[in-house]
Amino acid sequence: MKTYQTSEIRNIAIIGASGSGKTTLAEAMLLEGGTIKRRGTVEAKNTVCDYSMVEQEYGYSVFSTPFFVEWNGKKLNFIDCPGADDFVGGAVTALNVSETAVILVNGQYGLDGGTMNAFRNAETYSKPVVFAVNQLDRDQIDYEAVVEQLQAAYGGQVVKVQYPVNAGTGFNQVIDVLLMKRLTWKAEGGTPEIDDIPADQQAKAEELHAALVEAAAENDEALMEKYFEEGDLSMEDVREGIRKGLIARGICPVFCVSAQKDMGVRRLMEFLGDVAPSPADVEALKDSDGKEVPYDSNNAAASIFFFKTTVEPHIGEVNYFKVISGTLHEGDDLVNADRGSKERLAQIFCASGSNRTQVTELKAGDLGVTVKLKDVKTGNTLNGKGADHKFNFIKYPDPKYRRAVKPVNEADMEKMMSIMNRIREEDPTYIIEQSRELKQTILHGQGEFHLRTLKWTVENQDKLPIEFLEPKIPYRETITKAARADYRHKKQSGGSGQFGEVHLIIEPYTEGMPNPDVFRFGNQEFKMSVKGVDEFPLEWGGKLVFVNSIVGGAIDARFIPAIQKGIMQRMEQGPLTGSYARDIRVIVYDGKMHPVDSNEISFMLAGRNAFSQAFKEAGPKVLEPIYDVEVLVPSDRMGDVMSDLQGRRAMIMGMHSEKGLEKLSAKVPLKEMSDYSTSLSSISGGRASFTMKFASYELVPADVQDKLLKEYEAQQQDKE
């Protein structure tokens, strides 16, 4: 295999809805490029890209899979991405290391939710988009309607390069208005016959050709002037205009394919090789220090970024990388910028699924793979001598679905965590949290489908039975008014005893509130003389503020830390639901000591018990986590989605139109979001998507608090 220069490399993410035919397209591309001799099928479970156990079991893509095709002197690096939104991490990874996105559209369904999600992802990462309308050989195909849907959603930048002559079961012809030729395939597909456009299609072809030329010219002033002067552009000029338009995201060309029949695939690859931008054509990446790092093979030291890890039987970890700068050679010694360790890349390969082709070097911008590294994880950067970059440009979406997970056999907990951490290396959108607060292991993911796939993998590939449980909610407790209490701890059991007495007042704390002055409880007035204030930011959020107002040496200063410790212990287990307490100010204003029996343990216990008594009298309330939720939904499903949210105690914050969709913003309690990803998919037919992010803690309604208190009391009785 030859060494390809940066200008000869094209990195392309194949994205789109589930069922659009991405893996089938990949097989056709691999066959056309000579990488494979016979095409596999998803049904036969023998495709290059869907080679993992879980993908073959379920018949859909779970992981993004790189493959390459050598085509007309270019190296086309493709990444076949999962279509389901639950596996969006694969698409996010692919888009971050690619310069172009091919969005495959199911010609039968047109602009569905998966296509919308794919375009939004490409837009998020500012990637050029080429549309390819697939399944043109199926019944009930209306190509013109599909393109009209795309244009209605994404504007005039959507421009036809091809249109089918006979879409439907007999499909075998397209008119290419860039080449201004007719392409006709035999039943076996592959290489088309190319001839002149027939007279009955000439007028339509010329009209679309003019629209394509004008769209290409709009992206370059010199081309626009030439177009106005001459009324047309050469094919090379049009290609250059489209290339610049792609880079600027000002044009989205539309192609016709039947991936299953291998029709239109060669022409699509030809276009990508000729027109799609190379790494050298796009903006330089920035490292974590904000320094631009151009894709320079000749004048820069080698720097490579690892974007994906898989684990294969008999091999172990397989690490995929992109060469960001310099030239990587087989046997190079590099330094891990994230971990400080040294690595030798004894062998480097180009990958197509589980098949690997060994190479001696890779230039900047190319994708490669290696094995048997000592200490490299997804997201790490390796640098050669003279480079000191670190890259962290892949940002994964926040999780949207959570379940508690545990092994069926409690003794397998350590084994389960080891497996989970390995799976997270393969898919970083999983987050595994061992919650000391909830006393559960919480698995976060993108949806029910996402977590169910992990469960299948653990149980069938790793032979470890696990179970999912409803996760507990991390409630918080606080107070709503001031309260006073005192407690004397006294214990005598021969010899020196224990004695400590603490008088304190607690009140709700808000940021910036003035120091306490006077408190009134009944007919009593308590004046405070502040000697010192300690603020303790709590790891679970909020603060404990401790005010020392002791006068006359009633409690020695050496016992103050013990009182603080006792109060903090009670903050970790509130009296209402056993949840963490937050945002409380404690004023210790009096107490008593014994010259012999007072010690730290005595004042710790006295402080803890005084705090507990005061807490119960201070209008204690339960707080629940509230999340900011944004839903993108087609307008015809807006009413149903809003009704569902309102049934989840949501507070609707606003709505507006955004690129053909309605964006609904709401604040929703985490408790009500447990099954939302599944419910939203059902309500919208898979056409809506959402994001959620922690916003704040807010008081729960009275009826919800009553229910929580009864549940906690029942749990405590069961323990007794």
The token duo for 410 is: 């409690």
Q: How far is CA 438 from CA 233, 434, 472, in A?
A: 67, 9, 6
The token duo for 78 is: 């493709």
Nearest partner of 63 among 76, 47, 75, judged by Cα: 47
Q: Where in the chain is the domain with CATH 3.40.50.300?
A: 6-281
Q: How far is CA 491 from CA 564, 593, 598, 599, 601, in A?
A: 21, 13, 10, 12, 11
Between residues 344 and 718, the one the model is more confident about:
344
- Which residues, listed in sequence order, are joined to residue 130 by a DSSP beta bridge? 102
Predicted pLDDT of residue 450: 94
- Which residues, listed in sequence order, are joined to residue 105 by a DSSP beta bridge? 133
Which option is the CATH number for 298-383: 3.90.1150.10, 3.40.50.2300, 2.40.30.10, 2.40.290.10?
A: 2.40.30.10
The token duo for 367 is: 């994708």
> Cα separation of 169 and 166, whole Å?
9
Cβ atoms of 423 and 378 within 8 Å: the answer is: no
Confidence of residue 660 (pLDDT cuts 50, 70, 90): low
Q: How far is CA 212 from the centre of its chain?
A: 36
User: Diameter of the chain by CA atoms?
Assistant: 114
Q: How far is CA 359 from the centre of its chain?
A: 32
Give the pLDDT confidence of 224-241 residue by residue, as tens digits.
888 888 888 888 999 999
Q: Where in the chain is the domain with CATH 3.30.70.240?
A: 622-704
What architecture does CATH give domain 6-281?
3-Layer(aba) Sandwich (3.40)
Give the pLDDT confidence of 424-464 residue by residue, as tens digits.
999 999 999 999 899 999 999 999 999 999 999 999 999 99
Q: Where are the beta strands (DSSP E) in 459-612?
A: 466-469, 476-478, 483-491, 498-508, 518-521, 524-527, 532-537, 543-548, 580-581, 584-592
Q: Where in the chain is the domain with CATH 3.30.230.10?
A: 477-619
Give the pLDDT confidence of 248-260 residue by residue, as tens digits.
999 999 999 999 9
pTM comes to 0.86
Amino acid 12 reads I
CATH topology of domain 477-619: Ribosomal Protein S5; domain 2 (3.30.230)
Task: Report the percent of the chain where pLDDT is more than 90.
Answer: 80
Predicted pLDDT of residue 720: 59
Give the pLDDT confidence of 26-46 residue by residue, as tens digits.
999 999 999 899 988 888 888
Q: Where in the chain is the domain with CATH 3.30.70.870?
A: 401-472
**Average pLDDT taken over every residue of the chain:** 93
Give the pLDDT confidence of 295-335 residue by residue, as tens digits.
999 999 999 999 999 988 888 899 999 999 999 999 999 99
Give the pLDDT confidence of 75-87 residue by residue, as tens digits.
999 999 999 889 9
Q: What is the CATH number of domain 622-704?
A: 3.30.70.240
DSSP 431-458: EEEEETTTTEEEEEES-HHHHHHHHHII
What architecture does CATH give domain 401-472?
2-Layer Sandwich (3.30)
Nearest partner of 257 among 197, 171, 329, judged by Cα: 171
Contacts of 414 (CB under 8 A, 6+ apart): none
Its sign, for the CA torsion 197, 257, 208, 145, is positive
Predicted pLDDT of residue 576: 87
Amino acid 202 reads Q
Burial of 159 (0-12, 13-18, 19+ CB in 10 A): buried
DSSP 8-state assignment for residue 263: B
Contacts of 35 (CB under 8 A, 6+ apart): 48, 67, 68, 69, 70, 352, 355
Confidence of residue 659 (pLDDT cuts 50, 70, 90): low
Backbone phi and psi for residue 309, each to the nearest 5 degrees, phi listed first: -135, 135
In this model, does residue 400 exceed pLDDT 80? Answer: yes
> Cα separation of 706 and 704, whole Å?
5
How long, in residues, is the chain? 720
Give the pLDDT confidence of 505-552 residue by residue, as tens digits.
999 999 999 999 999 998 899 999 999 999 999 999 999 999 999 998
Helix (H) or strand (E) holding 171: none
Between residues 718 and 489, the one the model is more confident about:
489
Is 497 in a helix, a strand, or coil?
Answer: coil
The label of the residue with tokens 């085509």 reads: 71
Q: Where in the chain is the domain with CATH 2.40.30.10?
A: 298-383
Backbone phi and psi for residue 216, each to the nearest 5 degrees, phi listed first: -65, -40
> Cα separation of 360 and 328, whole Å?
8
Confidence of residue 716 (pLDDT cuts 50, 70, 90): confident
Query: What average pLDDT does range 119-133 have in this prediction?
Result: 95
